[in-house]
Chain A
Amino acid sequence: MAEAAAEKAARPATAWRSYGAKRRSTRALRLRTSAALVALTVLAVLVVPPLVQLDQQAVDLAAKLQPPSRQHPFGTDDVGRDLLLRCVYGLRVSLLVGVAAALTATVVGTAVGAAAGALGGWVDRGVMRVVDAFSSVPHLLLGIFVVAMFRPGVWPVVVSVALTHWLSTARIVRAEVLSLRSRPYVDAAVSGGASRWRVAVRHLLPGVLPQAALAAVLMVPHAMWHESALSFLGLGLPTHMASLGNLIQSARGSLLAGQWWPTLFPGLFIIVPTLAIAGLAGAWRERINPRRRSELML
């Protein structure tokens, strides 16, 4: 024993070199930045409206179209409303629409895709024809068509965005179910006496849920952009609601007059949260990707 200790002491300490530390740190930085920005976004839309006892609709015609200042960090719009407050409320609406639409689209898409993939045969063929038919119509056109059938409001926009976005989720989920269905572990479950329902619920669905959830998260920015586009065209939310699309739409005139702030800040409020959500989803995708799951190659 003493010999061993002596030998251990005599042997020079192993000089370890880290490997790929740089790659890891950029990944971590991206993840942290995205997470911080998403957290900030959520915090802003949840906390600011109840805490700040200011009326976003407060019109102050004496202070209209003021550039950013101490009192109005983002400036004011053409009727003197504070743009920072308007942007936060707009983000709140956009995020609400985005999340609601993404959830609806994901539930519909997952159900349809899973049924098509798991049942196969004529169900699969029929469902996929419908998906193809929907996909062949341009998204925005279909969205406009749906919105035009209702009175302006939040829910028509949600329905419109959801109706145009469940297709991709259905495709992803169906493909995933098909690939899982041919795995030997499903064969093993069948041989182990599992019923059709048990195979679907215990073995297939859990396998596709991470993909579906990822698609849902990635869809939130999509839906936000879609809402903004509809509102910008004047077809989305009623103009008195501060949605980001409405803000940019109403700022068109002042941009030509050289007043940049009413366009820039709502635009940033769309771009930054959507990029952050996409960044977070990207990091998550790296985690659930089975090829990366096992960092230890045993």
Chain B
Amino acid sequence: MLELRDITAGYARNAPVIRDVSLTVAPGEAVGLLGPSGCGKSTLARVAALLHRPDAGTLVLDGEPVRRWRHRAPREQRTAFGVVFQQARLSADPRLALSDLIAEPLRATGRREGAADRVGELAATVGLTADLLGRRPHEVSDGQLQRACLARALVLRPRWLVCDEMTAMLDASTTAALVRVVEDYRAATGAGLLAVGHDRALLDRWCDRTVHWTALTAAAAGAGTSSG
């Protein structure tokens, strides 16, 4: 269970981007969060993935309240999330070849043995060929790079996936391919998904339920408090 309760978060003091927002994702559930760009839905996704500390509110992960974010969060909690961002170019360290990019979480957590096999297996899953794996980000297209970023998100076998506008910059075929990879992974592992986006047709097709951002904020404004 991933529960966001009355989350208020932002990047400057006294100017929260989101205010008192609550959202729950059940285990194995796929929730689409639909909203216009700049509304704060990405911030909520970052809070959910333990990447941004909220100013107020609680995040309950599998029944346990989260108290620390980013580096301060325990490693097992952080790595329970696989995250994919909108802009593959900015989400990839420009100096790492794609195979190193995918293997980086394995190395960072000290699981070096078998890393090469795992990278090869994931590359096949996301549809990257062997010669692409040796290239660096500026030598591949946006679509190919986003495939690698998705493989990196899956490499530690996370229990939760947070896809923040994962396909907004991609063409229809790559979008369909990446969504299929995510769904195959979820079917195999039972992972939950929070997919943030602005394309209603896509989220409706992809997710079990789609929540509109305005409904979330209206609930916060109307009910004052909600119990998640």
Contact = CB atoms under 8 A, between A and B. Distances in A.
| Direct interface between A and B, CB < 8 A | yes
A23 interface: no
Contact of A191 (B49, B87, B93, B141): B49
B78 A188 contact: no
B152 interface: yes
A290 B75 CA distance: 32
Contacts of A184: 85, 87, 90-91
A295 B119 CA distance: 29
A190 interface: yes
B141 A190 contact: no
Nearest to A206: B95
A188 B94 CA distance: 13
For the complex of A and B, the 4 pairs showing the least CB-CB separation, nearest first, are A192-B105, A194-B108, A184-B91, A193-B109
14 contacts: A183-B91, A184-B87, A184-B90, A184-B91, A189-B104, A190-B71, A191-B50, A191-B78, A192-B79, A193-B75, A195-B71, A207-B93, A207-B94, A290-B94
Contacts of B81: 191
Interface in A26-59: none
B163 interface: no
Interface in B73-108: 75, 78-79, 81-83, 85, 87, 90-95, 104-105, 108
Given A192-B152, A206-B95, 8 more contacts: A183-B91, A184-B91, A188-B153, A191-B51, A192-B104, A198-B108, A199-B71, A294-B138
A188 B83 contact: yes
A183 B82 CA distance: 17
Task: Pick the most buried of B83, B87, B155: most chain A CB atoms within 10 A of its CB.
Answer: B83
Given A290-B94, A298-B141, A192 B156 contact: yes
Q: Which of A193, A203, A206 has the most CB of B within 10 A?
A: A193
Interface of B: 46, 49-51, 70-71, 75, 78-79, 81-83, 85, 87, 90-95, 104-105, 108-109, 138, 141, 149, 152-153, 155-156
A191 B138 contact: no
Contact of A293 (B93, B138, B149, B155): B138
Interface of A: 183-185, 187-196, 198-199, 203, 206-207, 290, 293-294, 298
A111 to B, nearest CB: 21
Contacts of A195: 71, 108
Given A187-B46, A290-B94, A193 B138 contact: no
A87 to B, nearest CB: 42
A181 to B, nearest CB: 11
Q: Which of B49, B87, B104, B152 has the most CB of A within 10 A?
A: B104
A196 B71 contact: yes
A91 B82 CA distance: 57
A206 B93 CA distance: 10
Nearest to A298: B141
